[in-house]
Structure 1
Amino acid sequence: MRKLFVLFNLILFVNFYGNCQTKNLKPKEIVKSEFGNILDSLKVKGSILIYDVKNKTYYSNDFEWSKTGVIPASTFKIPNSIIALESGIIKNDSTIFKWNGDKRRFKKWEEDLTFKKAFQVSCVPCYQEIARKIGVKRMKSYLKKLSYDGMIFDTLTIDNFWLEGKSIFSQMQQIDFLERLYFSQLPISKRTENIMRDIMQLEKTENYILSGKTGWGMSNGMNNGWLVGYLETSNSVYFFATNVEKQETDMEEFPIIRLNSTKEALKKLKLIK
């Protein structure tokens, strides 16, 4: 009987140790030259990074690029929205931003916008208003709490530090942050999580839900484009962060390139059709 007891405990220990080892395994990094071919065909340079949570595997054409920080641009609207909701500056997704009649960069910004719509059309003046209301001290406190590192700002740059300046965030950091948001590992309310999940949705089909946020800034004199988010399928979730650069010639197609290149990479992994 004693031998059986010892054997049983040994089996339990082996299983427990094996599970711990699996959980602590460093994610694999697999180079996918096909992703580079996609970007070449679209005449941009950069990196597509996709993370398979279930298999703890990163896929990218350029891991050096994916680990290098650049200005986060409007992808910062994700933490900015979270902070606005958590601090009470924004009450809910129906909160209205009144347009004062001033000329704005895009026609779609020249109207009264709900918070949800402001996020989805990436209204810069709306989010500059949010940042000013949050203020430097509170913004720094919340970013520290969220472990959203790399942002550099003061009272003079509180409303544009994510668009220009020295703030940097990498594709790897983007995925880490999104993963923590998705799996409820951020110190925020469930209500805020649910609002973010709703306003971030880009596409919903019978087979998947695609959620995320675009960004467009300037880096070293080049147009720098972002698309970050996650793909939910029936059996798993995959996180992605695409960052591409293009010289300022024929820029009309640049916005859609971020989405198209990401979806093509997801197709290469047979995650969508």
Structure 2
Amino acid sequence: MLYPLRLLTLMSCLLLSQAPRAAGVVETDALQRHFDAAGLKGTFVLYDASADQMTVYNPKRATTAYTPASTFKIFNSLAAFDSGAVRDAEEILPYGGKPQWLPAWERDMDLRDAMRLSNVPIYQEVARRIGQQRLQAYVKAVGYGNGDIGPVVDRFWLDGPLAITAEQQARFTARLGLGQLPFSAKAMSMTRDIMQLEKTADYTLYGKTGWATNSKPAIGWWVGYLQRGDKVYGYALNIDMPTLEDAPKRMPLGKACLKALGLLP
């Protein structure tokens, strides 16, 4: 169960998370040339939290739910830190000792490295520590995606039934950037720290990729938020990835979209 002292906060956040689409939704075709240049089909969503406005390329796809895959590592980290299942970003966690798809995953490591390497077995251990009942309660409280993690605690973000749209991803990451999720301030701070990708004098960029292989073609994700001064912009990219060669295109395409929208130099 979640801590009783936060039940009122959780219920408030649940009501907020079930709000309709942003007050302003601006559809744009200006990003299509970047998708065309990459040879990819997909969507990009930018959510300006202060204006409650979404800028959307390919709106139909932006409201289509897909398995979150490794983008769920953001949520998993929040729940781990909040529940105490993982002490902090430096606690060493076991990967289980079995051969893995990537040799880099075949070692015990902390969540800072596991986030950077997108280490599946480490985060499966995290989910088992949190537990199915507690994870389901967190997902419902946040209003994350379709809210359904099913009965298998360490596979639902890879195989389903959990699914989420690009619009929902952008709202979720913006709420993390603003500290408006039903997790402790410490849990959100530690998660933001291990998500950080770039920091300059003008902006800080946070994000996480994902690769959902339970569909054909596979779905590639890059989600996170950008902070410029006191403004927070949640973003979400998803694309069809019919080949392995498409995977490295996710972040560059997402950055090209942010640049085209005037948020990156």
TM-score interval (norm. to shorter): 0.7 to 0.9
| Equivalent residue in structure 1 for 2:247, among 230, 244, 255 | 255
Map of 1:21 onto structure 2: none
- Deviation, 1:245, is 0.5
Q: What is the alpha-carbon distance in structure 1 between the residues aligned to residue 150 and residue 25 of structure 2?
A: 37
How many pairs were matched up? Answer: 246
Deviation at 1:99, TM superposition (A): 4.3
The residue aligned with 1:175 is: 170
Question: Residues 144 and 257 of structure 1: is their aligned pair in 2 closer, same or farther, counting only changes over 3 Å?
Answer: same
Letter in 2 for 1:260: P
Cα distance change on mapping 1:268 and 1:154 into 2, 3 Å: closer
- Give yes or no for the alignment of 1:112 onto 2:108: yes
1:259 partner letter: M
SS state of the match for residue 213, structure 2? Answer: strand
CA separation of 1:170 and 1:154: change in aligned 2, threshold 3 A: closer
Aligned to 2:146: 150
- Calculate the TM-score normalised by the size of structure 1: 0.84
Q: TM-score, normalised by structure 2?
A: 0.86
Read off the aligned partner of 1:114 and give its amino acid letter: D
Q: Using a 3 Å threshold, how does the CA distance of structure 1 residues 148 and 44 change in structure 2: closer, same or farther?
A: same
**Other-structure match for 1:10:** none
Structure number with larger C-alpha Rg: 1
CA distance 1:147–1:153, shift in 2 (3 Å): closer
1:55-66 mapped onto 2 (5 Å cutoff): 55-66=51-62
Closer/same/farther in 2, CA of residues 137 and 44 from structure 1, 3 Å limit: same
CA distance in 1, matches of 2:142, 2:135: 10
Mapped to 2, the partners of 1:207 and 1:132 lie a distance apart of 39
Amino acid at match of 2:82: E
* Separation (CA, whole Å) in 2 of partners of 1:235 and 1:167: 32
> Are 1:233 and 2:225 an aligned pair?
no
Q: 1:54 to 1:143 in 2, by over 3 A?
A: closer
* Aligned amino acid, residue 130 of structure 1: V
Give the partner amino acid of 1:80.
Answer: N
Tell me the SS of whatever aligns to 1:97: coil
Contact residue 101 and residue 110 of structure 1 kept, 8 A: yes
Amino acid aligned to 1:210: L
Task: State the one-letter code of the partner of 1:258.
Answer: R
Q: Cα deviations across residues 127-158 of structure 1 (Å, max 9, x unaligned)?
A: 11111222221111122222224143444x22
User: Does residue 94 of structure 2 align to residue 102 of structure 1?
Assistant: no
Counterpart of 1:78 (choices 74, 77, 92) is: 74
Q: Partner amino acid for 2:155?
A: N
